[in-house]
């Protein structure tokens, strides 16, 4: 579906060029005329052409219009093509859409009829890779509420309008435009790269619509459950409206945002169901020359794809010592929800270790690594009875460093319990103890569970460091061990102790 091409400040210009606007004869331009960034305007004034608006020569207004023209050209360039039609447009009737030709150029010799089918907002866009050339008999006829303001010609190089031809719509040319003797334009001649040449022409800027809001095509995929950036452009008589309230509807919930100085509002609605969705933008603006309250955009249809299916993610691992079992955890989800009862195999240690996920989708195994250095761990999941394909899904590899087993530190068996009667700030607690042999007082020992630090303690005269009431998360109580780490004589030493539920667990 073709959408209105935003022209910004260029919308008030009947003629806009980059290098020069030259005219011969009594041309009449109803609208503004300008050139930027370093051009000249000739052939207007006594004995020449007339301009009902303002002539802008290399000023800030013309520069901004060129900037807005470039944005409009890019918008037309990327709009998806509805159909490819013959190079010659004369003698054909077309309905709203975006059209190109197999040859990459358009010619107009005869009458092209544009049928809006009763829709005054219908948009017609014609895209050429190279040129647009009209003959003396070239004419564009509008029927069934079609409007010149909604017709756009995106020309890849240059446009030439034949003697006495009549064109309706705005030409957005990448290079130049030449209107030969007597050519009539119900629209605009806007050139990005070079000159506009005129000769006894009549150029009339179409009556600008009032407030308009146009939803832009969505870039990139739209995925279930993920916020998707959607933008809309709000204009009043072709000029951007800043500070307008725009509400995007069609997602799980309406999203309301405010337009910036360019009249653009970007919201991020979320779509919870895969398939086709329709997005509209409703605008409310005060203090403009337009009636902008309750104006609704043309609906934009998007395709929402399902979330990626089964995922398994490895969690960070704490200190790893040769020959000591190391707790490694993985979280398994299906469309973002935890998968319980899934079989997870940890590979990378001396032997594979297979465990089952709990109700939170967490599986914790304890592989052993027999060689110091770098090791790579992966988790492979198999689950049945889910909405996802979870068989053979493998996590992103996790690289760990295995240190030699030369530790004078030992860790005592420990157990965790519920932190009652008031489980604050942790629901579970444990008392963790490590002993340094030979005894040495004043050494700081850091305790880890599931690779995460839970606290520190300092050894006493007997070489014993005790961490009382260490707070544990639900992930950490799934571990079967804890690790104590200390620095002795400039070297890091560590030990692993078992961690099981206390009995009774309170």
pLDDT in tens, 56-78: 999 999 999 999 999 999 999 99
Other beta carbons less than 10 A from residue 303's beta carbon: 12
Dihedral of the alpha carbons of 435, 437, 439, 443, in degrees to the nearest 10 = -60
Contact between 36 and 139 (Cβ < 8 Å): no
Which residues face 284 on adjacent strands?
Answer: 245
Which residues face 382 on adjacent strands?
Answer: 343
Give phi and psi for 71, each to the nearest 5: -65, -40
Average the pLDDT over 95-99 and give the result: 97
Average the pLDDT over 126-145 and give the result: 96
pLDDT at 405 over 70: no
Q: Looking at residue 208, what is its pLDDT? A: 66
> Tens digit of pLDDT for each residue in 282-331?
998 766 656 677 889 989 999 988 766 788 999 888 788 887 888 999 99
> Which residues of 71-179 form beta strands (DSSP E)?
83-85, 92-94, 97-101, 106-108, 111-115, 124-128, 132-134, 139-143, 151-155, 159-161, 166-173, 177-179
Other beta carbons less than 10 A from residue 37's beta carbon: 10
Contact between 52 and 101 (Cβ < 8 Å): no
Average the pLDDT over 128-151 and give the result: 95
Q: Looking at residue 67, what is its pLDDT? A: 94
Average the pLDDT over 90-96 and give the result: 96
Give the three-state DSSP class for 70.
helix
Q: What's the CA gap between 269 and 282, in Å, rounded? A: 14
Tell me the pLDDT band of 419, cut-offs 50, 70 and 90.
confident
Average the pLDDT over 474-498 and give the result: 88
> Tens digit of pLDDT for each residue in 337-363?
888 999 999 999 999 999 999 999 999
Q: Looking at residue 266, what is its pLDDT? A: 95
């Amino acid at each position: 579906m073709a959408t209105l091409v935003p022209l910004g400040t260029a919308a008030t210009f009947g003629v806009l060029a980059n290098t020069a606007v030259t005219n011969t004869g009594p041309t009449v331009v109803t609208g503004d005329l300008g050139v930027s960034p370093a051009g000249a305007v000739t052939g207007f004034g006594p004995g020449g052409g007339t301009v009902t608006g303002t002539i802008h020569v290399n000023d800030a207004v013309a520069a901004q219009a060129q900037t807005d023209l470039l944005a409009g050209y890019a918008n037309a360039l990327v709009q998806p093509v509805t159909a490819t039609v013959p190079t010659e447009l004369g003698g054909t009737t077309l309905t709203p859409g975006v059209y190109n030709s197999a040859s990459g150029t358009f010619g107009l010799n005869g009458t092209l009829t544009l049928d809006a089918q009763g829709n005054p907002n219908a948009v017609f866009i014609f895209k050429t890779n190279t040129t647009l050339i009209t003959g003396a008999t070239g004419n564009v006829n509008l029927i069934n509420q079609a409007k010149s303001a909604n017709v756009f010609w995106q020309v890849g190089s240059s446009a030439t309008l034949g003697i006495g031809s009549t064109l309706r719509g705005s030409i957005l040319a990448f290079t130049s435009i030449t209107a030969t003797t007597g050519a009539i334009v119900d629209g605009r001649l806007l050139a990005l790269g070079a000159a506009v040449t005129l000769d006894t022409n009549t150029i009339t800027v179409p009556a600008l619509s009032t407030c308009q809001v146009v939803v832009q095509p969505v870039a990139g995929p739209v995925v279930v459950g993920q916020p998707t950036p959607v933008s809309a452009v709000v204009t009043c008589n072709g000029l951007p409206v800043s500070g307008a309230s725009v509400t995007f509807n069609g997602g799980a919930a309406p999203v309301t945002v405010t337009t910036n100085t360019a009249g653009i509002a970007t919201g991020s609605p979320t779509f919870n169901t895969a398939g086709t969705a329709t997005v509209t933008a409703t605008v409310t603006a005060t203090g403009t020359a337009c009636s902008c309250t309750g104006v609704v955009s043309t609906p934009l249809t998007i395709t929402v794809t399902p979330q990626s299916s089964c995922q398994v993610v490895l969690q960070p691992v704490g200190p790893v010592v040769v020959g000591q079992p190391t707790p490694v955890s993985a979280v398994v989800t299906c469309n973002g929800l935890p998968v319980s009862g899934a079989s997870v195999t940890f590979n990378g240690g001396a032997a594979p270790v297979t465990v089952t996920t709990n109700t939170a989708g967490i599986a914790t195994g304890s592989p052993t690594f027999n060689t110091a250095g770098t090791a790579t761990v992966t988790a492979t999941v198999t689950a049945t009875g889910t909405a996802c394909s979870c068989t053979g899904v493998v996590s992103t590899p996790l690289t760990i460093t295995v240190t030699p087993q030369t530790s004078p530190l030992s860790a005592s068996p420990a157990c965790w319990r519920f932190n009652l009667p008031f489980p604050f700030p942790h629901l579970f607690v444990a008392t963790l103890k490590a002993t340094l042999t030979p005894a040495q007082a004043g050494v700081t020992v850091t305790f880890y569970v599931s690779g995460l630090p839970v606290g520190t303690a300092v050894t006493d005269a007997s070489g014993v460091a005790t961490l009382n009431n260490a707070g544990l998360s639900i992930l950490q109580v799934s571990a079967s061990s804890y690790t104590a780490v200390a620095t002795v004589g400039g070297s890091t030493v560590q030990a692993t102790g078992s961690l099981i539920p206390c009995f009774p667990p309170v």
